[in-house]
């Protein structure tokens, strides 16, 4: 499924406007290195290095820094990024249900969730073929994202997990 199909009309218009701004004075229907450098200069922002520019113009491991990026490529990039934001928000909302007393930002903006409560909930849901997630599979999937509080309670570091797997 194309990420573009999931965009609202206002989001599509915002992408068109952003492209037009970045295309700059050339109006050649491509965002080029020159367009990007002029934008940075006009905004008074430090110019990115050649490596940073090349990274910005690399799509699916193909370097478009010499040719430029078309509206379609730009739209697909932004639509994909917007879909990740939506996915992240939905997952965050679901995980916040398990946070202690609605304290969504327990420590240094880290969403911490009682590990046993989350494990009980995840392992009680029937998945395909009437199977359930095993407790050992759950433990393996959260490995590296668990911390222990001063009182010995284990918590799942949801924000760190989301950054590793969603972003």
pLDDT, tens digit (0-9, with 9 covering 90-100), for 115-128: 888 888 888 876 65
Express each pLDDT in 148-158 by its tens digit: 888 888 888 88
The predicted model gives 126-142 an average pLDDT of: 76
- CA 113 to CA 97: how far, in whole Å? 9
Q: Percent of the chain, pLDDT > 90?
A: 4
- CA 64 to CA 58: how far, in whole Å? 6
Q: Quick one: which H or E segment has residue 145?
A: none
- Which of the pair, 144 or 106, is modelled with greater confidence? 144
Q: What was the pLDDT predicted at 94? A: 79
Per the confidence metrics, is the pTM higher than 0.75? no
Q: Quick one: which H or E segment has residue 72?
A: helix 71-96
Q: pLDDT confidence of 159, banded at 50, 70, 90?
A: confident
Q: How many H-runs (helices) and E-runs (strands) does the chain carry?
A: 7, 7
For the chain, residues classed under CATH 1.10.238.10 are 3-83
Express each pLDDT in 23-51 by its tens digit: 878 889 999 999 988 888 887 888 888 89
8 Å CB contact between 114 and 124: no
Express each pLDDT in 37-89 by its tens digit: 888 888 788 888 889 888 888 888 899 989 999 988 888 888 777 766 666 67
Domain 3-83 has CATH 1.10.238.10: yes
Q: What was the pLDDT predicted at 1? A: 42
């Amino acid at each position: 499924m194309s990420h573009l199909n999931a965009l609202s009309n206002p989001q599509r218009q915002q992408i068109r406007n952003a492209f037009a701004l970045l295309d700059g004075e050339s109006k050649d229907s491509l965002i080029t290195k020159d367009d990007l450098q002029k934008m940075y200069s006009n905004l008074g922002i430090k110019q990115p290095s050649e490596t940073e520019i090349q990274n910005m113009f690399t799509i699916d491991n193909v370097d478009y820094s010499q040719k430029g990026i078309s509206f379609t490529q730009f739209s697909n990039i932004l639509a994909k990024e917007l879909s990740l934001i939506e996915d992240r928000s939905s997952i965050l909302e679901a995980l916040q249900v398990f946070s202690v007393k609605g304290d969504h930002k327990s420590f240094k903006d880290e969403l911490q969730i009682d590990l046993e409560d989350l494990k009980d909930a995840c392992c009680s849901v029937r998945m395909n073929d009437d199977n359930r997630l095993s407790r050992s599979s759950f433990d393996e999937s959260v490995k590296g994202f668990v911390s222990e509080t001063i009182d010995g309670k284990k918590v799942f570091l949801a924000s760190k997990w989301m950054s590793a797997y969603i972003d």
